[in-house]
Amino acid sequence: MRIKKVLAVFLMCIFLGISLCFADIYLMQNNEINGLIEENHQLSHQLEVLKEPKDGVLYHGQLKVEGTDLVDCNREKFQLRGISSHGILWYPEYSNYRAIRTTKQFGANVFRIAMYTEPSKGYVNLPKESIDAVIMAVENTLGADMYAIVDWHILKDGNPNTYVEKAIEFFDKISALYGDNPAIIYEICNEPNGDTSWEDIVEYSNKVIPVIRKNAPDALIIVGTPKYCTNLQGAVQNPLSFENVLYSFHYYTELGQENYVNTLSGAINRIPLFVSEWGISDHPEGLTLASGFVDYLNQNNISWVNWSLSNKEENYSLLRPDCKHFSNWTEECLTKTGKFIFERLKSY
């Protein structure tokens, strides 16, 4: 009987030893498998980077402001260049994936999503429709490996404080969705105008930017300036205390060369700038002025976005009113403005 007990204990020890051995083998194999999975993820990411042109989010990553320069994740100077949508609820068909991808094929690396606050087709009256359209445009832009500017497009409301609570609501939703995504840039007030002062914009920014920073601590933020983003004096004299902030300047060629030279020369070495909207007017010198303007921005590494990707019957549109295509545009689809902008984008 005693021999049987000893034998049972002996066999149990052998069994436990084998079990522990297999457990060790399993853990070793599991660790090796996890390591291989992680290595596969890294190789897949590197492959995606190699497949894409070296001008997208996969390659340049999180952008930031250093001094007055925009730099990429490698701390190399970087310039964003692209096109803005028109009102996202007015011309939603041009924010489809293939349309945005077509702008990339021409040379763009950023797409600006203009969401009007009002009138009828804006966030104030159509919040759900507006935010759904913005999300769809963002997703299409991300799919094209491009940076996306989410633009709170104030215009007729003049002072951004008019709908500051709505802005807080909107940016809280978007930044909660995309807080850790390096591709998303937040433009918090398109064109402050009327009697809006720089102090008004500071008051507004101090309410809205912390909401974004709560969810997206590293994101770039573009802040509008008075008089439809043509007056930079307040920002130069009293810049905001937040990091990774750029100040927007807007330009339309009917204003002439002196307008942008005089305004930008006084700010270019003082604050980080971003031309988040500019357009080509219908007059004989339009294209000549546009060429000089783009050269000036490129020489000074200032990022720019042209207005606008639509077929609206106005000179600023890139597409002809009779254009029936929503992507892969041929020269016959483009206005003079469209031909110029796409040619300049292709030159990079």
Catalytic residues: 191, 277
Q: 274 has which bridge partners?
A: 248, 303
Q: Do 129 and 40 touch, CB atoms closer than 8 A?
A: no
Question: 168, exposed or middle or buried, with CB in 10 Å at 0-12, 13-18, 19+?
Answer: middle
C-alpha 203/C-alpha 211 separation (Å) is 14
For residue 47, what are its two tokens?
Answer: 């492959």
Q: Are strands 273-279 and 184-187 parallel, antiparallel or unpaired?
A: unpaired
3-state secondary structure of 178: helix
Measured CA to CA, the distance from residue 53 to residue 107 in angstroms comes to 10
The residue with tokens 């034998």 is: 7
The packing angle between helices 336-346 and 286-299, to 10°, is: 20
CA 146 to CA 183: how far, in whole Å?
7
CB contact at 8 A, 270 and 237: no
C-alpha 53/C-alpha 58 separation (Å) is: 9
Q: Between 164-178 and 127-143, two packed helices, what is the crossing angle to 10 degrees?
A: 40
DSSP assignment of 70-99 equals EE-TTS-B---EEEEES-TTTSGGGGSHHH
110-116 and 81-85 strand pairing: parallel
d(CA 61, CA 41): 17
